[in-house]
Amino acid sequence: MKCPQGLQQRGSNAHSAVRRVRERHIQHKGGTNMISVHYVGMDVDKEKIVLARLGAGRCAEVQEQVIANTPSAVKKHFTALLAGAEVHASYEAGCFGFGLYRQLSAMGVAVLVAAPGLIPRKPSDHIKTDRRDARTLALALRAGQLTGIYVPTAQDESVRDYLRMYEDLRGDLRICKQRVLHFLLRRDIRYDQGGPWTVRHKNWLSSLEFSDPRDRKTLDMYLSTMQEIEGKCSEAAEEVEQIAAQDRYREQTKKLTAFKGIKTLIALSFVADIGDFRRFPNARQFMAYLGVVPSEHSSGNKRRQGGITKAGNSHLRRLLVEAAWHYRSYHPSSRVLTERRKGVDPQILSYANRAGRRLSRKYMHLLLRGKRSQVAVTAVSRELAGFIWGAMTGQVA
């Protein structure tokens, strides 16, 4: 039987699953015995898993079943399927993480976590149910039409979640500070002795007096909440530095922090989310993964390009653009950057300086052409992604 074509996969730890999907049959010489193969599509929700199972033949009947979304129920069902058969399974990536993937992989099931946006669907199909979704996954898996996502290791996933929790804390702190300033603005109280949130400004907030005692209590509650979040942010920041100092992350994080605008949080986020940068064959594919390449709608002799695709990892794209804003100017001898670059490979330093000068020139060139600063920074972020890929894959010549 001919192997299906067109099965794509991102992530080195899913290559074995893709290979087993393609090598679906093993036929002995001179005999007719063939190992049976099951293709299982799973629609997963909080309480249950809807399964659609197909055999290897094109005319095989779809068998549907619903099981509880518990490790024991999953183990019981797939243990029965694995008895004398090869099992390939797939489910959509989503909010349920990779616990099901790891459990099934440990049992010997070839699992593919499918990218939701790349699952083939009929434009005329306007009926969506759990059973239909499971059937669609099973059929696409058997045909080799699914694209798998990169599944991080358990350690990387834990670090990634901690980093995002830290970012959430910083966002909560920013919101709390805004609430304090807006509260004072509604009372027509303004601070005109410098910028906000300096030591002087905080002392001024503590000394404010109001005609209504409840206003003072309101401000105190805001300030108390803000101090609590600041303490948690400080604790999380120390933990992030300790994680970056671990053997698994130290060298890669150090390389990325040599670039202006990339401190420990952004560098560690890239390392934990991407894993192995070599899974992208070239810089353009890495840019496309981050969604910073131009969209295109061309036909015939006409070529039309639009804004960036915004596909792929939106979290890393936001961090990348945040770092790109620092290239409005470039001063490699700045005290902060010099301190951060201590102990970095001289070849990486030369590469980072070359990137800094090029990106700064590009930003100014686009501004002089009349481009808005947001557009210029987006273009800079695309090239910065290419430089990051080069540094992490050793392409620094």
Do 136 and 88 lie in one domain? The reply is: yes
The predicted pLDDT at position 242 comes to 97
**Is residue 1 domain-resident?**
no
pLDDT on residue 397 = 74
pLDDT at 51 over 60: yes
Does one domain contain both 264 and 373? yes
Query: How many structural domains does the chain have?
Result: 3
- Among the three residues 148, 172, 197, which one is the final residue of a domain in this structure? 148
Q: Tens digit of pLDDT for each residue in 139-184? A: 999 999 999 999 999 999 999 999 999 999 999 999 999 999 999 9
Residue 3 lies in a domain: no
User: For position 143, what pLDDT does the model report?
Assistant: 92
125 with 188, same domain? no
Same domain (yes/no): 18, 120: yes
Tell whether the model's pLDDT for residue 15 goes beyond 80: no
* Confidence label for 34 from pLDDT (cuts 50, 70 and 90): low
Residue 26 has pLDDT above 80, yes or no: no
CB 194 within 8 A of CB 200: yes
- Block residue for tokens 């997963």: 44
142 and 165 together in one domain: no
Same domain flag for 141 and 163: no
Domain ends where: 211, 244, 277?
A: 244
Structural domain for 80, as ranges: 8-148
CATH assignment of the domain containing 50 = 3.30.420
What integer pLDDT is reported at residue 175 of this predicted model?
97
| Domain shared by 261 and 385, yes or no | yes
- Mark which of 204, 229, 244 sits at the end of a domain: 244
Position 31 pLDDT exceeds 50: no
The residue ranking higher by pLDDT, 160 or 25, is 160
Whether residues 271 and 138 share a domain: the answer is no
In this prediction, residues 59-76 reach a mean pLDDT of 90
The reply to whether 60 falls in a domain is yes
pLDDT at 18: 45
Alpha helices by DSSP H, the chain? 15-22, 71-81, 99-107, 130-143, 154-186, 199-206, 213-244, 250-256, 264-274, 283-290, 314-324, 335-340, 346-368, 373-393
Exposure letters 9-40 (e unless 16+ CB within 10 A, then b): bbbebbeebbebbeebeeeeeeeeeeeebbbb
Q: In terms of domains, do 178 and 298 share one?
A: no
Assess whether 17 and 144 both reside in one domain: yes
Q: What is the pLDDT of residues 283-341, one digit of tens each?
A: 999 999 999 999 988 888 888 888 999 998 999 999 999 999 999 999 888 888 999 99
